[in-house]
Structure 1
Amino acid sequence: MVRDVEHGSGPAGVRTAAGSGVRRGPDALRAFRRDLDAVLDQLRASAARPAGLAALDLPRRSLSGTATPFAEADGLHGAYAGVHRQLVSAVEQLDARIEAVGIAVHGVDVGFENLELDLRERFWRIHADTTAHARPGEARP
């Protein structure tokens, strides 16, 4: 067990910030990354995955046929389509952000300069996409 007077002690090899219960150290980062990967795997296997949500599109014709004028159906379809697009986009961004945090945690563990080139490039692509999608006034990464 690592004893760290300034930060307290925790399980073998893991330091905690004094009184906070926050685990620190390489083992804590590896466990955090495993947890992130598990969340990402669950998201990607669920109906909430981007492709699953995208498949839940509601065609206009399903509300009143193709040639029947019905203003309320048009309005409902427009509202549904807008919310659907936003939801699919939000899930895609969440998926990418979780992936980026996992890459960053791995980079902390092995040194960002030691990451495979494709992981570094993926991290920066996610960063650029996330920044581009941030709304005005929203905290940017």
Structure 2
Amino acid sequence: MLPADMVGGVSATRAANLEASSEALDTFVKRVDSVLKTLEGSAGNPAKVGAQTIRQTSLTSGGPDIFPEAHGLYNQYKRVHDELTQLSRNLHLQIEAIGIAVQGARIGFDNLEEEQRQRFWAIQAEVGKSQDAADGKQRTGTGTKVRA
């Protein structure tokens, strides 16, 4: 049975706890912007992660029959590198989306500039496609699933 103050929706106490002051949202936006700026300047920047590769010939100059272990090592390196690059990109996009969402929470999503609203939904679509692709790899067995 629900408490009397919760019938018909969120309790008044919980609603008050959900309200965020403009100052709190401004502080949070600044923190998100700072994290995004730090990420962009770090080695975790998607472009920098993607650029850090090795060539297959660095491990072996022969075909896969000459030294199959080296080819296996390279294939695993390539898979992990691709996944880290995508993870870095998704992290970057999600931090950007959080910044837009917080701004929307402060002034109302409908009051955001059209460009910001479109960017928010484009980020969500892009991250969703990336997740769907990763899920598809796991279902078809072309990727590996880490188990805890």
Cα distance, 1:78 vs structure 2: 0.1
Instruction: Report how far residue 133 of structure 1 moved.
Output: 2.4
Q: Which residue of 2 aligns with 1:106?
A: 103
Q: Which residue of 2 aligns with 1:52?
A: 48
- Report the equivalent of 2:93: 96
One-letter amino acid of the counterpart of residue 25, structure 2? L
Task: Assess if the C-alpha contact under 8 Å between 1:49 and 1:91 holds in 2.
Answer: yes
Cα RMSD (Å):
2.2
Q: 1:59 to 1:40 in 2, by over 3 A?
A: same
User: How many pairs were matched up?
Assistant: 119
Q: Looking at secondary structure, tell me which structure has more helix per residue.
A: 2
- Structure 2 match to 1:29: 25
Q: How far does residue 26 in structure 1 lie from its aligned partner after superposition?
A: 1.0
Letter matched to residue 38 of structure 1: S
Task: Give the deviation of 1:117 after TM superposition.
Answer: 1.4
Pairwise CA distance, 1:66: 5.5
> 1:90, 1:122 → 2: CA distance?
19
CA distance in 2, matches of 1:76, 1:67: 14
Counterpart amino acid of residue 76 in structure 1:
L
Structure 1 distance, partners of 2:107, 2:57, is: 54
After the TM superposition, which residues 120-131 of structure 1 pair with which residues of structure 2 at under 5 Å, given as runs? 120-131=117-128
- More contact order relative to length (CA 8 Å, sep ≥ 6): 2
Instruction: Kindly provide the CA deviation profile for residues 25-56 of structure 1, in whole angstroms up to 9, marking residues without a partner as x.
Output: 11101100100000000001001110111111
Aligned partner of 2:8 in structure 1 is none
Aligned residue type for 2:76: A
Shift of 1:120: 0.7
Which letter maps to 1:120? R
Quote the sequence identity (%): 36
Give the aligned residue type for 2:36: L
> Paired residue for 2:139?
none
**Which range moved further: 63-72 or 40-49?**
63-72
Q: Where do residues 48-87 of structure 1 align in structure 2 (5 Å cutoff)?
A: 48-65=44-61, 69-87=66-84
The 8 Å contact of residues 60 and 66 in structure 1, kept in 2 or not, is answered as: no
Per-residue deviation at 1:67? 6.0
